[in-house]
Amino acid sequence: MVGYAMTSGKTLIKISTIANFLGNRERIVVKDSGDIRISTGPNNNGVVYHSRTLRDLFEDHNVGDSGDNYSRRLDSLLMVDVAILEVGLGGKFDATNVVQAPIVCGISSLGYDHMEILGNTLGEIAGEKAGIFKPGVPAYTVPQPEEAMTVLQAKASQLGISLHVALPLDRGLLNGQQLGLDGEHQYMNAGLAIAIVRSWLQKTGNDKGIFAENASDLPDQFLRGLSSASLQGRAQIVPDPYFITQGPNFSPAGLVFYLDGAHSPESMIMSARWFSHAVKENIEHVILSGENINNSCSDRQNQVRILVFNCMSVRDPQNLLPPLINTCSDQGVSFHKAIFVPNQSSFNKVGSYNTPPLDPQQVDLSWQLTIQRVWQNIIKGNKGVTDHTVVNVNEACKVGEEINARSFENSAVFTSIPSVIKWLRECAQENRTMRIQVLVTGSLHLVGDVLRLIKK
């Protein structure tokens, strides 16, 4: 993360994460007195988006001539006070290094990710990440494994800068409020964000009147930001909108999606902890328009937990699935069935997500079958991974003939995400006393595809 001051006017946040596969080529949020949001995607979370492209905006504002490059036009148009730039991959060779004099730099929790590019050890990965550090620019990070921290500190020392370690946010500083983003690890992220923002405000002279006499107290602006922060596909609970529109005969608690993209062993552990806590504590009732699920669905024996998973072929499911399975099992949570399916976005152009263009028989499922074999091998060695004692999901929810050949008692491979959603909805319709809890995790593309399709 790199912040740097630009010309006065507005604040820019450019997010290149899950927004990209929610149908947006670019997601630009420009905040001033009018709070303009520009998106090529649909209405989301009750916010009306202006479906306009950057080209439209350039034409409206007559910015430059046709020879101007993209970045020049963008900077000329936005006139921001501060830009927060997220590294795309690694750090040492990332494009964000074109900013040679940022105000502050930060590195969040490091783990084993993109190892084919960044290296096979935490030390090598940390060395790549530390490439964003600059002479004379304060650097912040969170508590890291010793191997990673040693490398980060060495790089900071080499540049003659201080490396500050931001501690997780103390819950007591929230004054009774909750973080907008769920999950224990978000307190670590919040602590880092607060440290970076404090540094930017102080270095740019924008801290006047913001901080109270007690430096440990959080300003109201910080509290509002932390409590209202949101990011789709991260620790997100979505009762199936289909059943919400079906009237009183259908409970929206009958089918609930738990979406949390995760593609490293560390993030899989965090996802598993969040999901286990969510299903055990029934926290989705907060989202269901005041409906108390503990009253409407008090019989826990009717809970069915389904895993929907995919990962890119550069990832190793043998490194991803065990942390998920074991962490859930440690929390007393297990899955009745696992579904493996290719990403929808791998088939379609942006904006076309109704059905895959290929015949189901032509879809290459070799990778999903590989993941399924990994799953089957794991559950053979750990009988506590899946739940057989309460609900026979195979009896309650029949799979089609075309899926039978790829179906085991505890897992199945589907050809498309629409077919998975169709199967889940039919299962919920035919078993109205059943409460189906679906964890969608792994590939962020998978999470984005599911989120888009269930909201159609």
Domain 2-228 has CATH 3.20.20.140: no
What are the strands of the beta sheet with 435-442, ordered from one edge?
A: 236-239, 255-261, 435-442, 303-310, 337-340, 411-413
Task: Take residue 269 and report the two structure tokens written for it.
Answer: 């552990």
The whole-angstrom separation of Cα 434 and Cα 270 is 27
Judge whether 106 and 139 are in contact, CB under 8 Å.
yes
N- to C-terminal Cα distance for the chain? 34
Query: CA–CA separation, 403 vs 413, rounded Å?
Result: 7
Mapped onto helix, strand or coil, the DSSP state of residue 266 is helix
What does the pLDDT read at residue 281?
79
Q: Which residues pair with 164 in a beta bridge?
A: 140
Q: What pLDDT does 69 receive? A: 57
Query: Per residue of the chain (456 residues), what is the pLDDT tens digit?
Result: 344 433 334 444 444 443 444 444 444 444 443 344 444 444 444 333 343 444 454 444 444 444 455 555 555 556 677 888 889 889 999 988 988 999 999 999 999 888 889 999 999 999 999 999 999 999 999 999 999 999 999 999 999 999 999 999 999 999 999 999 988 899 999 999 999 999 999 999 988 878 766 667 899 999 999 999 988 999 999 999 888 776 666 666 789 999 999 989 999 999 999 999 999 876 445 445 455 444 444 445 578 999 999 999 989 999 999 999 999 999 999 999 999 999 987 544 444 445 554 566 778 899 999 999 999 999 887 654 555 444 456 665 666 555 655 667 899 999 999 999 999 999 998 888 888 999 999 999 999 999 999 987
What contacts 276, CB < 8 A, 6 or more positions away? 327, 328, 331, 332, 333
User: 166: which 2 tokens?
Assistant: 């931001």
Could you tell me whether strands 435-442 and 303-310 are parallel, antiparallel, or unpaired per DSSP bridges?
Answer: parallel
Q: Do domains 2-228 and 236-454 have the same CATH topology?
A: no
CB 180 within 8 A of CB 227: yes
State which H helix or E strand residue 256 sits in. Answer: strand 255-261
Q: What is the pLDDT of residue 159?
A: 97
Give the separation between CA 317 and CA 380, rounded to whole angstroms. Answer: 16
- Are 310 and 368 in contact by the 8 Å Cβ rule? The answer is yes
Backbone angles phi, psi at 80, to 5 degrees: -90, 160
DSSP 283: G
pLDDT for the residue 20: 46
Q: Can you give the pLDDT at residue 55?
A: 45
Residue with tokens 């070799």: 366
Task: For residue 340, give the nearest of 424, 414, 400, 439 by alpha carbon.
Answer: 414
CA 29 to chain centre: 18
β-bridge pairing 28-31 and 10-14: antiparallel
Q: Which position has the token pair 């001033």?
A: 32
Predicted pLDDT at 238: 93
Query: How far apart are alpha carbons 163 and 22 in whole angstroms?
Result: 36
* Number of neighbouring beta carbons within 10 Å of residue 41: 17
* 368 membership: H or E segment, kind and range: helix 366-381
- Report whether 339 contacts 414 (CB < 8 A): yes
236-454: what fold?
Protein-Tyrosine Phosphatase; Chain A (3.90.190)
pLDDT of residue 56: 52
pLDDT at 131: 96
Tell me if 171 sits within 8 A of 53, measured CB to CB.
Answer: no
Structure token pair of residue 243: 């059943």
- Cβ neighbours of residue 53 closer than 8 Å, sequence gap 6 or more: 25, 40
DSSP class per residue in 422-438: HHHHHHHHH-TT-EEEE
Query: What are the residue ranges spanned by the domains of the chain?
Result: 2-228, 236-454
**Sole residue written with tokens 């598993």:** 272
pTM above 0.85, yes or no: no
